């Protein structure tokens, strides 16, 4: 008769020292002799994770027990902090901590936690055979004692998750580094308070999120925190700031937080501490001075948004590699979008800027301090064929649902030619899918449909969210896509937006579904069949002025009454639909489009009671979209006018000539700044820089008239520059008596002798001459009054030599003038910069000026740079062999 021996349980007590994590792993392996090796490996891994958590969070003696029965492994890890509950996290690939419990959750057959009067025990089991679903789940503990409810409004959950995982990484490294330095196992008191407070905040936030419905990318949370925790929260804030400073100095392996994560962390901890002390809440969206230029852009990053954007957009990861790019950006720079994916971002930069970019990007990651995030910076971009295209670069950061930070750059062209047409509608990126849902780390309740009983809060929230979507961008198509995204989260299962062009043609600009996994064919987008007086169906009726229309009996495609109606019903058949509201987009009594909102379930149809509120909602949407239409129309006209006004530059073997024009980053992309250059019949080269007062379309028209008058006067009679400006002043006073302008008119003489500049200024900033050796001086002779002041006053002329390889710079005041800085200081700053780059190639010289002075410029910038070439090798001292040549005066 045989008997089975009871399993032998082995236990080991360990002090809370980090090195005992390895001891625990070795102990578990030794206790499981005879168990399948892969099961032992898993048990060792999970035991190490649990002991690590105990060392960091409990900081008490730990007892590890392990045994096996019939090949099934049992492991227990106990500590004496029964009041400290567990805080499970999602295992995001970019998380630097918080993976331990998730690994147990994924790899263990069953697991759990239980507490007694004197200890807390976390346990797991591993079975060698195919396991059943886990029989236990983690339990979290609410704060013991009195609590205070804190209102955290407009929390962007992806930003919170990124901030939380970053500060947990900082604390983990601080704790382990402190313990390594002090082998007694005692941590500094502030670190202990900070760690416990961090765990408390994470547990409370997790519990609050479980009660919320994630119907948008932001959550407004009511969180119960321990009533006496205000001082501890401030200690956590101070410890994290000190850790951040250490990370910026390279004393920690954890990188410092990027600006938006640091700002959010400060807001969160300050709100908790302040409200625990009785202060009123302040929403994150109300924070002023946040690093993001668009603080209401709170949605998690999604590659589909980049691909669907009309603005040229490129996204890169923290490894400086391109991870998303749209057709507009690829076409602008001469690439196919798929060819850019995975390449370094430097492939889109001129050679002379690549090292600077790498240095600045590395500095951002290592210090957390940015010089360009959220700002509009004029830079040259590199076309695939080698050309340089001037653009304005605006870089923002967005957090992804997996915890990483993505750098999203939008490129706005300045003087470049229009981008090629879009790719065909059946291309990969023709559709505009909705971004993926916010992936919360806990189970949340199912989103509810809006009903009349909940009208007040639900509809007010919907009105507010659509309003934010309409003000988040100036691009008309982008506004409609964002509005549809809001509508599908709170009102409909899917939504389509159609616009009428000036010829009455119907264009479907976007289709957004609540479920991003639902495929939407690009064939449904783009041009739709025309609307005529006899075209029938709900959509044609609305486009002709009816509506909003409620559709509760969806006909089949075979019942379509027109080609346009057939296209609409074909889409309904593909995406489903039991009820719909088709509403007109109307402005100034003119219908310019329609919104179609569809629900696919019988139990929650649209009803007549919804129509009044939907009509009011769409009325506001139409006003916002119409404003974008007007802006886009004005913007397009301004761009065409600006391109028409920028001249081509003459070429010569005697000098190099380069120009730059950068519109203001804060106003319309057209204004009164201009440059010009042309060769007179006698061979002299004319250089002109000027600025008409004002900054709008009217100023651009006045500038165009003045420029053309000056060209005609200059060619008609080749007189000294002062006389040319006097005649221009007289003509301007006669034809445009209300206009004033500044101007420099200069002649580069081409009589074979040393290069000379003959010039006169009408109230404009003086040209700057920089020699090849870096000496600088302003050519400030020949100054006179503005154009439009007194045409009878004589205007002086001046002349100055142009040494070979020197650089002559003519520029408008937008290059240097800054609020709070004197003009003398600004001019001195420009001299220092040109001296530093005196030997750079002329294109690089101009690019460096724009990069240095063009960021956040509140006015347009125009500049014209000329560099005389060295004399031929057969001449001496700049004169032809045989001595000087006589010239008349």
Task: State pLDDT tens for residues 178-206.
Answer: 655 454 445 688 888 888 888 888 888 88
DSSP string, 471-537: HS-S-HHHHHHHHHHHHHHHT-SEEEEEEE-TTS-EEEEEEEESSTTS---GGGSEE-PPP-TT--S
Is residue 278 located within the same domain as residue 313? no
Is residue 655 located within the same domain as residue 607? no
- Whether 295 is in a domain gets the answer no
As given in the structure block, the two tokens for residue 263 are: 């700002």
- Tell me the average pLDDT across 650-672: 77
Range of the domain at 47: 10-126
Main-chain phi, psi angles of 865, to 5 degrees: -125, 135
- Whether 733 is in a domain gets the answer yes
pLDDT of the residue at 453: 43
CA separation for the pair 719, 716 (Å, rounded): 9
Q: Which residues contact 553 (CB under 8 A, 6 or more apart)?
A: none
As given in the structure block, the two tokens for residue 127 are: 């079975």
pLDDT band at 768 (very low <50, low <70, confident <90, very high): very high
Q: What is the CATH number of the domain that holds 753?
A: 3.60.40.10
- Whether 135 is in a domain gets the answer no
Q: Which helix (H) or strand (E) holds 276?
A: helix 259-276
Q: What is the pTM of this model?
A: 0.60
- Tell me the average pLDDT across 471-495: 79
- Whether 196 is in a domain gets the answer yes
pLDDT band at 290 (very low <50, low <70, confident <90, very high): low
Is residue 258 located within the same domain as residue 362? no
CA separation for the pair 584, 644 (Å, rounded): 37
- Whether 3 is in a domain gets the answer no
778 neighbors 768 (Cβ within 8 angstroms): yes
- Whether 4 is in a domain gets the answer no
Note the pLDDT tens digit of each residue in 19-72: 888 999 999 999 888 888 888 999 999 998 899 888 888 888 999 999 888 788
- 431 alpha carbon, distance to own chain's centre: 21
User: Which residues face 380 on adjacent strands?
Assistant: 390
95 neighbors 161 (Cβ within 8 angstroms): no
Note the pLDDT tens digit of each residue in 136-164: 566 555 566 788 999 887 777 778 888 88
Q: What is the CATH number of the domain that holds 500?
A: 3.30.450.40
Residue 462 class from Cβ within 10 Å (0-12 exposed, 13-18 middle, 19+ buried)? Answer: buried
pLDDT of the residue at 289: 58
Main-chain phi, psi angles of 443, to 5 degrees: -75, 135
- Tell me the average pLDDT across 661-677: 73
Residue carrying structure tokens 């040494």 = 803
Percentage of the chain with pLDDT > 90? 23
**pLDDT: which is higher, 657 or 451:** 657
CA separation for the pair 776, 807 (Å, rounded): 9
- Whether 710 is in a domain gets the answer yes
Nearest to 853 by CA among 808, 807, 817: 817
Is residue 282 located within the same domain as residue 304? no
* 415 has pLDDT over 70: no
Is residue 678 located within the same domain as residue 808? yes
- Tell me the average pLDDT across 851-857: 78
CA separation for the pair 140, 204 (Å, rounded): 9
Nearest to 779 by CA among 805, 748, 808: 808
- Whether 428 is in a domain gets the answer no
* 109 has pLDDT over 60: yes
SS (H, E, C) 40-67: HHHHHHHHHHHHHHHHHHHCCCEEEEEE
Nearest to 522 by CA among 434, 435, 430: 430
CA separation for the pair 505, 795 (Å, rounded): 57
606 neighbors 579 (Cβ within 8 angstroms): yes
CA separation for the pair 752, 307 (Å, rounded): 56
pLDDT of the residue at 830: 95
* 853 has pLDDT over 60: yes
Is residue 92 located within the same domain as residue 29? yes
Highest mean pLDDT among 33-37, 473-477, 698-702, 721-725: 721-725
Q: What is the CATH number of the domain that holds 25?
A: 3.30.565.10
β-pairing, 120-126 vs 655-662, is unpaired
CA separation for the pair 272, 148 (Å, rounded): 10
Residue 800, SS3 per DSSP:
strand
As given in the structure block, the two tokens for residue 116 are: 């007694």
Q: Which of 264, 286, 308 is the last residue of a domain?
A: 286
Residue 344, SS3 per DSSP:
strand
Is residue 453 located within the same domain as residue 480? yes
pLDDT band at 299 (very low <50, low <70, confident <90, very high): low
DSSP string, 13-44: EE-S-TTHHHHHHHHHHHHTTTS-HHHHHHHH
Nearest to 568 by CA among 540, 533, 547: 540
Q: What is the CATH number of the domain that holds 379?
A: 3.30.450.20
765 neighbors 864 (Cβ within 8 angstroms): no
- Tell me the average pLDDT across 329-346: 91
Is residue 471 located within the same domain as residue 412? no
* 761 has pLDDT over 50: yes
**pLDDT: which is higher, 513 or 412:** 513
pLDDT band at 442 (very low <50, low <70, confident <90, very high): very low
Q: Which of 59, 94, 126 is the last residue of a domain?
A: 126
> SS3 helix, strand, coil % of the chain, rounded to 5?
35, 20, 40
pLDDT of the residue at 434: 34
Is residue 845 located within the same domain as residue 708? yes
Is residue 683 located within the same domain as residue 763? yes
**pLDDT: which is higher, 73 or 461:** 73
**pLDDT: which is higher, 641 or 618:** 618
SS (H, E, C) 723-763: HHHHHHHHHHHHHCCCCCEEEEEEEECCCCCCCEEEEEEEE
Percentage of the chain with pLDDT > 70? 78
Is residue 306 located within the same domain as residue 262? no
Residue carrying structure tokens 């205000």 = 230
* 468 has pLDDT over 80: no
β-pairing, 756-762 vs 783-784, is parallel
Average pLDDT, the chain: 79
Q: Give how far Cα 78 sits from Cα of 12, 84, 112, 127, Å.
A: 10, 12, 12, 21
Number of domains the chain is built from: 5
Task: Determine the angle formed by the axes of helices 697-716 and 608-645, rounding to 10 degrees.
Answer: 10
Is residue 253 located within the same domain as residue 390? no
């Amino acid at each position: 008769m045989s008997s089975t021996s009871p399993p032998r349980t082995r236990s080991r007590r360990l002090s809370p020292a980090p090195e005992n994590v390895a001891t625990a792993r070795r102990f578990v392996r030794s206790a499981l002799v005879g168990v399948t090796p892969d099961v032992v490996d898993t048990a060792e891994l999970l035991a190490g994770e649990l002991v690590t958590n105990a060392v960091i969070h409990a900081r008490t003696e730990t007892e590890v027990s392990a045994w096996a029965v019939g090949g099934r492994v049992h492991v227990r890890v106990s500590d004496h902090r029964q009041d400290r509950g567990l805080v499970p996290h999602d295992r995001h690939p970019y998380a630097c901590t918080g993976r331990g419990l998730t690994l147990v959750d994924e790899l263990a057959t069953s697991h759990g936690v239980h507490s007694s009067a004197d200890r807390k025990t976390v346990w797991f089991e591993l079975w060698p055979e195919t396991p059943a679903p886990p029989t236990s789940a983690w339990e979290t503990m609410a704060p013991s004692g009195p609590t205070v409810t804190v209102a955290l409004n407009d929390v962007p959950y992806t930003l919170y998750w990124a901030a939380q995982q970053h500060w947990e990484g900082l604390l983990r490294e601080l704790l382990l580094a402190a313990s390594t330095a002090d082998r007694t196992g005692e941590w500094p008191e502030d670190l202990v308070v900070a760690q416990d407070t961090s765990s408390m905040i994470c547990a409370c936030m997790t519990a609050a999120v479980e009660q919320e419905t994630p119907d948008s990318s932001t959550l407004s949370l009511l969180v119960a925190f321990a009533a006496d925790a205000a001082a501890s929260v401030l200690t956590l804030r101070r410890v994290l700031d000190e850790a951040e400073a250490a990370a910026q100095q390279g004393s920690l392996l954890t990188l410092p937080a990027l600006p938006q994560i640091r700002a959010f962390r400060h807001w969160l901890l300050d709100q908790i501490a302040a409200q625990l002390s009785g202060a009123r809440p302040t929403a994150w969206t109300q924070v002023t001075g946040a690093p993001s230029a668009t603080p209401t852009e709170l949605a998690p990053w999604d590659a589909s948004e980049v691909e669907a954007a009309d603005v040229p957009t490129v996204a890169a990861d923290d490894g400086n590699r391109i991870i998303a790019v749209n057709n507009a950006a690829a076409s602008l720079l001469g690439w196919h979008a798929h060819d850019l994916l995975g390449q370094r971002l430097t492939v889109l930069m001129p050679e002379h800027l690549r090292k600077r970019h790498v240095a600045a990007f590395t500095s951002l990651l290592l210090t957390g301090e940015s010089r360009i995030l959220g700002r509009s910076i004029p830079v040259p971009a590199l076309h695939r064929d080698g050309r340089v295209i001037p653009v304005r670069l605006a870089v923002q950061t967005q957090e992804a649902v997996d915890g990483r930070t993505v750098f999203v750059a939008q490129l706005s062209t300045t003087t470049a030619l229009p981008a090629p047409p879009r790719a065909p509608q059946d291309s990969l990126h023709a559709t505009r899918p909705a971004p993926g849902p916010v992936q919360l780390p806990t189970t949340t309740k199912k989103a509810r449909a809006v009903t009349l009983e909940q009208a007040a809060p639900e509809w007010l929230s919907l009105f507010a969210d659509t309003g934010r979507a309409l003000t988040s961008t100036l691009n008309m198509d982008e506004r409609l896509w964002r509005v549809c995204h809001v509508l599908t989260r709170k009102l409909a299962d899917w939504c389509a937006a159609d616009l009428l062009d000036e010829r009455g043609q119907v264009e479907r600009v976007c289709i957004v579904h609540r479920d991003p996994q639902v495929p939407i064919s690009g064939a449904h987008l783009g041009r739709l069949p025309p609307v005529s007086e006899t075209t029938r169906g709900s959509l044609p009726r609305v486009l002709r002025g009816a509506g909003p229309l409620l559709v509760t009996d969806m006909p089949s495609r075979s019942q379509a009454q027109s080609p346009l109606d057939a296209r609409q019903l074909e889409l309904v058949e593909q995406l489903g639909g039991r009820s719909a509201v088709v509403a007109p987009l109307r402005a100034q009594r003119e219908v310019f489009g329609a919104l179609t909102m569809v629900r696919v379930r019988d139990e929650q149809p649209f009803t007549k009671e919804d129509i009044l509120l939907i009509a009011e909602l769409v009325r506001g949407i139409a006003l916002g979209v119409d404003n974008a239409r007007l802006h886009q129309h004005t913007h397009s006209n301004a761009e065409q006018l600006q391109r028409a006004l920028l001249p081509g530059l003459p070429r010569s073997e005697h000098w190099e000539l380069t120009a730059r024009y950068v519109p203001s980053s804060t106003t319309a992309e057209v204004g009164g700044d201009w440059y010009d250059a042309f060769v007179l019949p006698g061979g002299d080269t004319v250089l002109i820089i000027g600025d008409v007062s004002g900054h709008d379309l009217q100023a651009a028209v006045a500038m165009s008239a003045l420029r053309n008058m000056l060209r005609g006067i200059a060619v008609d009679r080749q007189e000294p520059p002062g006389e040319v400006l006097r005649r221009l002043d007289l003509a301007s006073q006669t034809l445009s008596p209300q206009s004033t302008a500044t101007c420099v008119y200069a002649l580069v003489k081409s009589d074979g002798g040393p290069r000379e500049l003959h010039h006169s200024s009408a109230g404009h900033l003086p040209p700057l001459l920089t020699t090849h050796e870096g000496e600088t001086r302003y050519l400030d002779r020949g100054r006179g009054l503005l154009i439009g002041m007194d045409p009878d006053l004589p205007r002086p002329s001046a002349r100055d030599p142009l040494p070979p390889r020197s650089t002559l710079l003519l520029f408008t005041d937008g290059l240097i003038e800054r609020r709070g800085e004197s003009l003398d200081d600004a001019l001195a700053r420009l001299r220092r910069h040109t001296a530093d780059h005196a030997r750079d190639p002329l294109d690089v010289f101009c690019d460096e000026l724009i990069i240095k002075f063009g960021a956040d410029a509140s006015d347009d910038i125009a500049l014209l740079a000329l560099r005389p070439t060295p004399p031929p090798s057969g001449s001496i001292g700049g004169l032809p062999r045989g001595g000087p040549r006589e010239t008349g005066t």
